[in-house]
Each structure stands twice: as structure tokens, then as C-alpha cells.
């Protein structure tokens, strides 16, 4: 039985730990707060981020980074993008060649504009790791509840992608495989930005027509950026693209849509974030995606308006008007 080390004890890392441990896979779940991890191990649940879901016997919670990694056959990185590099750098000395390392983080690093696999490649230079990405429409709470969910895992090595696919597959958790690592990472990051826009529209009281337009044109922007960076355009019509975009733009459990709702209802970004306990990756990722779009010279008007609302205090109504007053053009 393969042993799995999961770094990042937020809701998503915990949900995946519950999924694997529920299959009998030995899982060690790491978090940076010793007191919180000790409480999780004692109470056998993540009372802060995913309360009410009992830890199976195969799941151990710990704040000891070294012991978490020891003997692991697979490493899962669930640390938010702004802390990802720091944690991964500490793991590198203990990583062996060929080890599957799976990023489940839907964000892009600020400043460097690196995806998470690019961060790992930089930090582990000289090691032949099997870098993977797992993404798709998957709210953590629904996975923890055992509700049917389908996702995709991508790796440049087809055999490793298949191995991780089999590791995570469960009766109600279907995993597809892919070779398009870039496509999964760009769609996973950008869908959060579009979800903020969707939340803003809902907060302003706009209708379902508006939401459908944002999802559709948002997918166009995601595809433009992804293909400019070398992704397969077909990826964006799949689970990690359209599937995750629809979920995040419409679901009440979406953190990024929630941020948008608060902004659209008149709250400042600081007020919106202060009312949330979990990280909304789209807030920081908006800057990274805008930087990437500038590098490859891709037009992304929705992304640009979200950036202006978040970081230039542009009124939400003004941003919406700007999108609809742009010059007319053909759709394709």
C-alpha cells in the first residue's frame, strides 16, 4: 500500500487526505501550526477548515515536516501559492528521483509568475521528479462528504500520470489522466479570477445572462492565455477548464465568487478578506495572470477589469460598464 504525504492542512488538503485514508492508504497530513495539528490529531477532525468529518485510522496529522515526508511514495502539495515555494524548498533534500509530486494548488506565484510545477522545477534542479497536477471541479466539502466528483491529473510522463490516477481513484472520485500540465495549471488559476468577476456581477444584482456571458468569455480568455503558453486548446473544454470554471463561478461554496459577491455589494477588498477564514487564490493570482498576459501579449479584458477593481479601487459598476462599452468585434 503506497504511503502519501500531504503538505497543507487546509480544506482541500484535508479532503484529499480523507479520500485516500478512506481507501486504507496511509496518509500523513502536515500543517505549519503545531497546536492546530496536535488538536486535529487528538480530536480526529479538522475543526477549523473542515469540521465534522472524522479522520480514518490511516490518517495522521502532524507539524513535523521531516517525519511527514519519510517513506512517502507520493507527495501532495496543497500549500497556497504564496507559501508554496518556501515549504517545497524544505522538502527537496528528502525527495528521491522518480517520486511523484502532485500540486493541487490553483494559483500562480506573485513576482515570478511561475506555476507551481515551475516553482518545483526551479527548486529541485538536478532531481528527476515526476511533477503532476490534479485539478477539476471539486469543492473540498463535497469530496469530504463522498459526493460524486470527477477530476483530471496531468503529468508529462504518461506512466506516472496513470499511477497517480489509480492512486486517487475511488468509487465516487473519478480521475482522468492528461499530459497537458500547463493547461491544467493555467485553467485552474484563471478560473478563480473569472469567478471573482462572476461574484461581482451577482453582488451588483446582474442576472443569469450576465453570469453566462462572463463564464463564456472568461473561458475564451483562459484559452488564449493557456495556448499562448503552449497548452493544448482541448484541455480548456474539459474538467479542469470549463468544468472547474462553471463550478467556481456558480457554486455557493466558491471562495473566489464569495470575494466577488462582497465587492459587488459595496465592501472593500480588505473587508471582504477579513470576513473569510480560507484563502481565495484568485486575489493574488490576478496579479500573476496579468503579468503573464503582458509577457505573451494576450488580450484579457475581464482579467484586466478584475485587477483594476482589486488593486486600483475601480468601482465595480465602472468595471462592468468598461467591458460592455468596448469596440464591437466578431466572436471568433
Label residue 224 left, alpha or beta by phi (over 0 means left) and psi (-120 to 50 means alpha): alpha
From 250, 249, 217, 190, select the one nearest 323 (Cα to Cα). Answer: 217
Q: Cα-Cα-Cα-Cα dihedral of 95, 116, 186, 283, to 10°?
A: 150
Q: Which residues pair with 7 in a beta bridge?
A: 30, 77
DSSP state of 17: H
Yes or no: say if 218 and 197 are a contact pair by the CB < 8 Å rule. yes
Longest distance between any two alpha carbons in the chain, whole Å: 60
Distance, in Å, from the CA atom of 15 to the CA atom of 11, rounded to the nearest integer, reads 6
Distance, in Å, from the CA atom of 167 to the CA atom of 208, rounded to the nearest integer, reads 39
Yes or no: say if 286 and 218 are a contact pair by the CB < 8 Å rule. no
- From the candidates 191, 262, 267, 284, give the one annotated as an active-site residue: 191
191 is catalytic: yes
| Residues labelled as active-site residues | 191
Amino acid at each position: 500500500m503506497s504511503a502519501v504525504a500531504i503538505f497543507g492542512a487546509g480544506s482541500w488538503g484535508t479532503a484529499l487526505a480523507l479520500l485516500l485514508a478512506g481507501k486504507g492508504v496511509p496518509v500523513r497530513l502536515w500543517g505549519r501550526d503545531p497546536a492546530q495539528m496536535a488538536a486535529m490529531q487528538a480530536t480526529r477532525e479538522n475543526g477549523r477548515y473542515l469540521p465534522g468529518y472524522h479522520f480514518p485510522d490511516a490518517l495522521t496529522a502532524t507539524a513535523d515536516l521531516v517525519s511527514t515526508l519519510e517513506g512517502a511514495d507520493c507527495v501532495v502539495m496543497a500549500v497556497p501559492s504564496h507559501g508554496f515555494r518556501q515549504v517545497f524548498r524544505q522538502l527537496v533534500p528528502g525527495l528521491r528521483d522518480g517520486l511523484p509530486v502532485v500540486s493541487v494548488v490553483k494559483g500562480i506565484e506573485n513576482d515570478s509568475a511561475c506555476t507551481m510545477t515551475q516553482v518545483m522545477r526551479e527548486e529541485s534542479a538536478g532531481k528527476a521528479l515526476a511533477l503532476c497536477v490534479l485539478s477539476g471541479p471539486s469543492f473540498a466539502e463535497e469530496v469530504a462528504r463522498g459526493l460524486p466528483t470527477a477530476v483530471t491529473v496531468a503529468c508529462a510522463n504518461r506512466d506516472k500520470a496513470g499511477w497517480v490516477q489509480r492512486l486517487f481513484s475511488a468509487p465516487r472520485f473519478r480521475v482522468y489522466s492528461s499530459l497537458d500540465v500547463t493547461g491544467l495549471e493555467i485553467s485552474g488559476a484563471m478560473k478563480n479570477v473569472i469567478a471573482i468577476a462572476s461574484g461581482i456581477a451577482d453582488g451588483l444584482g446582474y442576472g443569469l445572462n450576465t453570469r453566462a456571458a462572463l463564464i463564456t468569455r472568461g473561458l475564451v480568455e483562459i484559452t488564449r492565455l493557456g495556448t499562448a503558453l503552449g497548452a493544448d486548446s482541448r484541455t480548456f473544454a474539459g474538467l479542469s477548464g470549463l468544468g472547474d470554471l462553471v463550478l467556481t463561478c456558480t457554486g455557493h461554496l466558491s471562495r473566489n465568487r464569495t470575494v466577488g459577491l462582497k465587492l459587488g455589494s459595496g465592501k472593500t477588498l480588505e473587508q471582504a478578506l477579513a470576513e473569510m477564514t480560507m484563502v481565495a487564490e484568485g486575489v493574488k493570482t490576478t496579479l500573476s495572470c496579468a503579468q503573464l498576459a503582458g509577457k505573451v501579449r494576450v488580450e484579457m479584458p475581464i482579467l484586466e477589469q478584475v485587477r483594476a477593481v482589486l488593486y486600483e479601487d475601480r468601482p465595480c459598476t465602472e468595471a462592468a460598464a468598461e467591458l460592455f462599452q468596448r469596440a464591437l468585434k466578431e466572436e471568433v
